[in-house]
Amino acid sequence: MGDPFRRGRLAPGVICRSSLAARYKRLTARRGPLRALVAVEHSIITAIWHMLSDHAGYQELGGSYFTQRDPERATRRAITQLNQLGYTVTLNPRETAA
């Protein structure tokens, strides 16, 4: 499937503080750095295809997109990481000002 020397070459210059960086960070933990990089490259190519076919501009979702989309998942992930480091976590909801 494609030239193996071209894999993993596109994204390092593109990834910075964006939703692509957040996607890379999430995938690296599960898939490893090279597979995560190829997945991010695929996301870039898919975004380019949609921009060209729909004649639309690129809309950056932001680095906190995945956290805002599903805050409970982000909370569970943080708790799991702290538990793996040997901490016991108790969450107390903040009191909101009325």
Would you place residue 84 in the very low, low, confident or very high pLDDT band (cuts 50, 70, 90)?
very high
Would you place residue 60 in the very low, low, confident or very high pLDDT band (cuts 50, 70, 90)?
confident
- E strands present in the chain: none
Kindly report the backbone phi and psi dihedral angles of residue 8, in degrees, each rounded to the nearest multiple of 5, phi listed first: 75, 20
Would you place residue 42 in the very low, low, confident or very high pLDDT band (cuts 50, 70, 90)?
very high
89, burial (CB in 10 Å: exposed 0-12, middle 13-18, buried 19+): exposed
Which of the pair, 32 or 64, is modelled with greater confidence? 32
User: Which pLDDT does position 6 carry in this prediction?
Assistant: 55
Q: What whole-number percentage of the chain has pLDDT above 90?
A: 16
Tokens of 87: 């901490």
Spatial distance between the Cα atoms of 69 and 54, rounded to a whole number of angstroms: 24
The single residue listed with the structure tokens 């993993």 is 8
Q: Are 66 and 22 in contact (CB under 8 A)?
A: yes
Q: Which of 40, 34, 30, 35 is nearest to 77 (CA)?
A: 30
Looking at the predicted structure, is the pLDDT value of residue 53 above 90? yes
